[in-house]
């Protein structure tokens, strides 16, 4: 067997992390499952050789004994041969050898070739890494639910289901669509972090929807019916006569219907009185001569 450091492409000074990284790279390259169709010749034996080298070097005690072998360039076979000769020389009394080293070298030989016999049984296994993606979702689609197409780094393009009522920064998990696993372990997951694009009119708080609705002075005084936007489309809203700016009206169950059922939220419409941009002489003259309006104090309650 060749030097395990040479097999893994490492210098003898390599540490535990370097040994592990080299093994992961080579095991992934030569593992039989990594090849579709017919496995290239020599791949199985190369994988076994890499595994045996790793099994030796990952064991601190075995690594230390191998590093202490006689001669800087000695191979595993020569270590075993020297150990065997030492034992024979001692038995006939013509050569005195260090029996401790002989026994250790014999154990080393067993470890090296035992690793070949056990190759594939102790292959490094690790679940693939989770991978995170960002996905911008329109406001109404986040409220109603829908589908978005997502391109993954593994080359796949998937249609991802957006659950109704999903909130800012919530994640959608795609199981098994993350980084590839090692040694037959499962792949990681893809985590889709959702950001919700703002709507020009609507805002939300939980399942409830909020809308500020501008109205004119005649609409506030006389009352009217207007079309307003909701997450499920436009509906007709009745504005009572004599409504004040700041009045809040409720559209029951016109908020977000949660994923999986349950009570829907409501929509709240806040009225905002807006006067014309240009001065209206008739309105000015009316206000100046409106007796009831001149004696009305709108700040009386707030000052009490």
Q: What is the pLDDT of residue 169?
A: 86
Q: Is the pLDDT of residue 191 over 90?
A: yes
Percentage of the chain surpassing pLDDT 70? 77
Q: What is the pLDDT of residue 258?
A: 85
CA atoms within 13 A on the CB side of 6: 7
Question: What would the mean pLDDT of 99-123 be, rounded to a whole number?
Answer: 45
Q: Among 6-20, 25-39, 44-58, 160-174, which is the least confidently predicted range? A: 25-39
Q: Is the pLDDT of residue 155 over 50?
A: yes
Q: What is the pLDDT of residue 87?
A: 37
Q: What is the pLDDT of residue 159?
A: 92
Average pLDDT, the chain: 80
Q: What is the pLDDT of residue 98?
A: 35
Q: Is the pLDDT of residue 123 over 70?
A: no
The predicted model scores a pTM of 0.56
Q: Is the pLDDT of residue 95 over 50?
A: no
Q: Is the pLDDT of residue 39 over 70?
A: no
Q: Is the pLDDT of residue 251 over 50?
A: yes
User: Which band of pLDDT confidence, cut at 50, 70 and 90, is reported for residue 91?
Assistant: very low
Q: What is the pLDDT of residue 2?
A: 78
pLDDT, tens digit, 9 for 90 and up, residues 209-229: 999 999 999 999 999 999 999
What length is written for the chain?
304
Separation of alpha carbons 135 and 170, rounded Å: 11
User: Which band of pLDDT confidence, cut at 50, 70 and 90, is reported for residue 290?
Assistant: confident
Question: What would the mean pLDDT of 269-274 be, rounded to a whole number?
Answer: 96
Question: What would the mean pLDDT of 51-71 be, rounded to a whole number?
Answer: 80
Give whichever of 71-80, 83-92, 95-104, 251-260 has the largest mean pLDDT: 251-260
DSSP the chain: ---HHHHHT--TT--HHHHHHHHHHHHHHH-GGGSSSSPPTTHHHHHHHHHHHHHHHTSHHHHHHHHTSSSTT--HHHHHHHHHHHHHHHHHTS----HHHHHHHHHHHHHHHHHHHTTTTS---BPPPPEEEEEEE-HHHHHH-EEEEEE-TTS-EEEEEE-TT--TT-EEEETT-SSPPBTTPPP--EEEEEEEPPPSSEEEETTEEEEEEEE-HHHHHH-EEEEEEETTEEEEEEEPTTPPTT-EEEETT-S---TTS-----EEEEEEE---SS--HHHHHHHHH-HHHHH--TTHHHH-
User: Which band of pLDDT confidence, cut at 50, 70 and 90, is reported for residue 42?
Assistant: confident
b vs e for 160-198, b when ≥16 Cβ sit within 10 Å of the residue's Cβ? bebebbbeeeeebebeebbbebbeeeebbbbebebebee
Percentage of the chain surpassing pLDDT 90? 43
Six token digits for residue 152: 């993954």
Q: What is the pLDDT of residue 71?
A: 56
Q: Which of these, 209, 175, 213, lies nearest to 191 by C-alpha position?
A: 175
CA 165, 170, 175, 177 torsion-angle sign: positive
Q: What is the pLDDT of residue 239?
A: 96
Separation of alpha carbons 21 and 50, rounded Å: 12
User: In the sheet where 190-196 sits, what is the strand order?
Assistant: 131-137, 190-196, 171-174
Q: Is the pLDDT of residue 141 over 70?
A: yes
Give whichever of 39-53, 79-93, 110-124 has the largest mean pLDDT: 39-53
Question: What would the mean pLDDT of 187-214 be, rounded to a whole number?
Answer: 95
């Amino acid at each position: 067997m060749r030097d395990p450091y040479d097999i893994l492409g490492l210098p003898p000074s390599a540490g535990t992390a370097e040994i592990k990284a080299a093994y992961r790279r080579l095991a992934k390259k030569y593992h039989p499952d990594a090849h579709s169709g017919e496995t290239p010749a020599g791949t199985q034996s190369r994988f076994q050789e890499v595994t045996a080298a790793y099994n030796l070097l990952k064991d601190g005690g075995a690594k230390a004994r191998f590093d202490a072998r006689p001669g800087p360039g000695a191979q595993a076979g020569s270590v075993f041969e020297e150990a065997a000769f030492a034992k024979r020389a001692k038995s006939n009394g013509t050569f005195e050898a260090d029996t401790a080293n002989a026994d250790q070298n014999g154990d080393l030989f067993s470890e090296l070739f035992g690793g070949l016999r056990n190759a594939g049984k102790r292959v490094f296994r690790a679940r693939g890494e989770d991978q995170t993606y960002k996905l911008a979702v329109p406001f109404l689609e986040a409220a109603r639910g829908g589908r978005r197409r997502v391109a993954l780094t593994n080359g796949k393009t998937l249609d991802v289901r957006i659950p109704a009522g999903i909130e800012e920064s919530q994640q959608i998990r795609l199981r098994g669509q993350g980084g590839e696993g090692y040694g037959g372990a499962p792949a990681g997951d893809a985590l889709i972090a959702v950001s919700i694009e703002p709507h020009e009119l609507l805002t939300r708080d939980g399942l409830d929807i909020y809308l500020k609705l501008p109205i004119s002075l005649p609409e506030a005084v006389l009352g009217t019916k207007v079309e307003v936007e909701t997450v499920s489309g436009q509906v007709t809203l009745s504005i009572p006569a004599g409504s004040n700016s700041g009045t809040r009206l409720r559209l029951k169950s016109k908020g977000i219907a949660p994923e999986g059922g349950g009570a829907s939220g409501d929509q709240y419409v806040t009225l905002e009185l807006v006067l014309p941009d240009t001065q209206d002489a008739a309105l000015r003259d009316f206000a100046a001569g409106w007796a009831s309006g001149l004696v009305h104090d709108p700040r009386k309650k707030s000052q009490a």
